[in-house]
Amino acid sequence: LRNRLVSDRPGRSRITLADVANYAGVSASTASRALNGRGELSPATRAAVLEAAAALRFRPSVLARSLRTRTTFTVGFVVPDIASPFYAVCLKGAQGALEEAGYRVMLMDSEQTPEGEVAALQTLLAHQVDGLLVATTGLSTSTFAAVVDRATPCVFFDSIVPEAGAGSVTLANGDGIDQLVDHLVAHGHLRIAILAGPQSETSGSERLAAFAAATRRRGLEQDPGLVRSCRWDQDDGRRATLELLELARPPEAVVASSAELALGCLAACRERGVSLPDELALVSFDDPYFGGLLEPSLTAVGYDPGDVGRAAAALLVEAMQETGTGTRQLTIPVTLVRRRSCGCPAGVS
Amino acid sequence: LRNRLVSDRPGRSRITLADVANYAGVSASTASRALNGRGELSPATRAAVLEAAAALRFRPSVLARSLRTRTTFTVGFVVPDIASPFYAVCLKGAQGALEEAGYRVMLMDSEQTPEGEVAALQTLLAHQVDGLLVATTGLSTSTFAAVVDRATPCVFFDSIVPEAGAGSVTLANGDGIDQLVDHLVAHGHLRIAILAGPQSETSGSERLAAFAAATRRRGLEQDPGLVRSCRWDQDDGRRATLELLELARPPEAVVASSAELALGCLAACRERGVSLPDELALVSFDDPYFGGLLEPSLTAVGYDPGDVGRAAAALLVEAMQETGTGTRQLTIPVTLVRRRSCGCPAGVS
DNA sequence: TTGTAAGCGTTATCAC
DNA sequence: GTGATAACGCTTACAA
């Protein structure tokens, strides 16, 4: 095992396994085995290779390895809008869990459109990602199937494609809305409006459906004018609230389907001089981290979006490792945080 | 050019260029040329290849291509905490600009530690990213140089490594702090404290330095006890504020170096029953999107973090395409938004 | 225990 | 114009 000089590498950009092997005086395959701890080989050779690799500061080419092994240890992450705190925190949770399992994440933003989402999935598949984590904007089962082959496991979170993927993680949308409506009823409200999100997304439609069911069950007023479906953005919430306030008979209370929509509602009320919670009660699905510092402080059902990301990542890792496990559905629970926007006195929570 | 039957593909996972060539009745090299529009070839062959590719739903292997061409069209994005709205929005801006230029982004979270950052950079380099976008936690020039080879262009944003990289994008930290201090002085405050961020990061140290210079220039009180350096988290801001409030002579006003720190200050004041802005004035570097809805609404210098990401991405794309351009420094301007936490009357802005 | 050789799916350099 | 052929840097039978 003589260390050959590491000469004749003119401008060659990268140190390769061959260089290491050469330096250690062994063949490339032996070097590979030593580095990966596969196969039996003499402690001496192993040590020599390891030393060579260290001396040369060898960094294996992930590309070459992936091409050969047909696995990239990369997962694709697709969300409608990464600037949204919810998705950003999901991403952080997922990234942490994936990193721990040895996976890297490639991020794509679908810009809230199905076309963007399809493009994102195609790009990711062209990169041969080992798995997919997606919060869909509402792809159909058939569209999804046409784009993503069965071989690449996919876990949906927040918003799902029916009968597709290796699993899904969603929030307890129904339970959360129930708690919100119940709480408003406890405050004596009978005429409650909802700021609903996009109906193409699971969390939009499930929350609206739960609202309809809950208000019916409670015998509350059923006025179609009280249901406003819009996108998740703050300004959409603002506009929808403005419309509600202009109704001949405005609502007594509003359920916002997300923190952004609640903020929009707050903004609209401030604009119109409507005082919360006296003239209008407000509760929200999503408890933003500054919820307690708003005026009035926000009553909401909360949860940790990081849990959603972590759970989805865990499911995906499982699906990527064990082949052909049945699809699993997880639900992340939510809990009510009572503050002042609903009409509760200060200092309750 | 007879279309050969596409048979004998048993369980072969992927459709390759060879399949397309075979289907079109040409060689792999011709197929490659047709698909990439390189070299001259007869319109008929080109059409045949394109048709074959479409018929077979051919998706070239990015891996193989990258291995061969030595370019991945992937850039690495490293931030201390992707759950932070600032970085999330930067990411979105950068991602959009990069996507447009044909690049994908691989995300790494350094978890606010130098070790995490080094590991992230190494992973990214092992993936042969074409470029790097990093918000450093404060790596030294030498550490950075030891990890990242000169061949991979790197653009820093928000926080930089001195004398390294192909460029940088920072906020107008000095100007922003000046505006904040000037405004508090205009309100008549002489004893002003600062909630400073980590001094290892550019935006932490520049803001503190600017604060020291501005207060000195204005002849304000220079009390070391009024300077609190901590991490960016809300709870750190809360704790630091609590300490300030317990001083024998508490400050009349506070400059928070970030939105998170301002929220922490708000929380601390609420806890202690200190009323803003009467007992303590507060201004902040960073205008969070809900700044107008807080109680009191927050006076702050604002900017669009997306601009930071977009600018950094533009610089990087330039650096990746033209070789050896000199390093460029960009500064994103900030503007003062007057609301109520500073002592201004309602409805100013 | 170690080496040889084939191959992963492309692109590039030559000939023809 | 088009087709062999040789890399790109790695892993893995199969031999030795």
Could you read off the pLDDT of A148-162 as tens digits, one per residue?
998 899 999 999 999
* Residue-wise pLDDT tens digits, A206-265: 999 999 999 999 999 999 999 999 999 999 999 999 999 999 999 999 999 999 999 999
Bridge partners for B329 per DSSP: B168
For residues B205-217, give the mean pLDDT: 98
State whether A60 and B126 contact (CB < 8 Å): yes
Decide: CB of B68 under 7 A of nucleic strand C: yes
User: Which residue's alpha carbon is at the shortest distance from the C1' of D7?
Assistant: B68
SS3 category, A157: strand
Is B6 or B259 the better-scoring residue by pLDDT? B259
Q: Which token pair is B229?
A: 């350096």
* Residue-wise pLDDT tens digits, A54-88: 999 999 999 999 999 999 999 999 999 999 999 99
Of B62, B107, B293, the CB nearest to A263: B293
Please report residues of A whose CB lies closer than 8 A to that of B288: 290
* Residue-wise pLDDT tens digits, B274-308: 999 999 999 999 999 999 999 999 999 999 999 99
In the block, tokens 């865990």 appear at A314
Nucleotide with smallest C1' distance to residue A36 CA: D11
B75-98 b/e (C-beta count within 10 Å ≥ 16 → b): bbbbbbbbbbbbbbbbbbbbbbbb
Exposure of A211 in the CB half-sphere (CA atoms within 13 A): 31
Q: Protein A167 CA to nucleic acid D12 C1', in Å?
A: 34
- Distance separating alpha carbons of residues B308 and B91, to the nearest angstrom: 9
Please report residues of B whose CB lies closer than 8 A to that of A88: 82-85, 88
A144 Cα to chain B: minimum distance (Å): 15
State whether A294 and B290 contact (CB < 8 Å): yes
Residue A347, pLDDT score: 62
Burial environment of residue A75 by CB neighbours within 10 A (0 to 12, 13 to 18, 19 or more):
buried
* Residue-wise pLDDT tens digits, B106-124: 999 999 999 999 999 999 9
Q: Which token pair is A277?
A: 């919670």
Decide: CB of B70 under 7 A of nucleic strand D: yes
Using the Cβ of A145 and the Cβ atoms of chain B, whether some distance falls under 8 Å is answered with: no
For residues A163-169, give the mean pLDDT: 96
User: How much is the pTM?
Assistant: 0.93
**Among A112-121, A328-337, B38-47, B97-106, whose mean pLDDT is lowest?**
B38-47
Beta strands in chain B (DSSP E): 74-79, 104-109, 131-134, 154-157, 167-171, 192-196, 227-229, 253-256, 281-285, 299-302, 328-332, 335-337
Q: How confident is the model at residue B14 (pLDDT cuts 50, 70, 90)?
A: confident
Q: Protein B146 CA to nucleic acid C7 C1', in Å?
A: 35
Judge whether residue A13 has pLDDT over 70: no
Q: Protein B209 CA to nucleic acid C8 C1', in Å?
A: 55
For residues A171-177, give the mean pLDDT: 98
State whether B306 and A267 contact (CB < 8 Å): no
Judge whether residue A10 has pLDDT over 60: no
Using the Cβ of A2 and the Cβ atoms of chain B, whether some distance falls under 8 Å is answered with: no
Angle ∠(B286,B294,B263) on CA atoms, nearest 5: 50
For residues B256-278, give the mean pLDDT: 97
Of B13, B60, B92, the CB nearest to A82: B92
Q: Which token pair is A164?
A: 């597709």
State whether B83 and A88 contact (CB < 8 Å): yes
In the block, tokens 């005086």 appear at A25
- Distance separating alpha carbons of residues B235 and B139, to the nearest angstrom: 25
Interface test with A, best of B73, B81, B86, B107 (most A CBs within 10 A): B107
Of B92, B109, B123, the CB nearest to A109: B92
Exposure of A44 in the CB half-sphere (CA atoms within 13 A): 4
Q: Protein A27 CA to nucleic acid D10 C1', in Å?
A: 13
A112 Cα to chain B: minimum distance (Å): 13
Of B59, B108, B295, the CB nearest to A294: B295
Interface test with B, best of A290, A294, A307, A340 (most B CBs within 10 A): A290
Q: Protein A283 CA to nucleic acid D9 C1', in Å?
A: 58
Alpha helices in B37-160 (DSSP H): 43-56, 62-69, 85-100, 114-126, 141-147
Judge whether residue B8 has pLDDT over 50: no
Residue A171 has a CB neighbour count (10 Å cut-off) of 25
For residues B22-42, give the mean pLDDT: 91
Q: Protein A30 CA to nucleic acid C11 C1', in Å?
A: 29
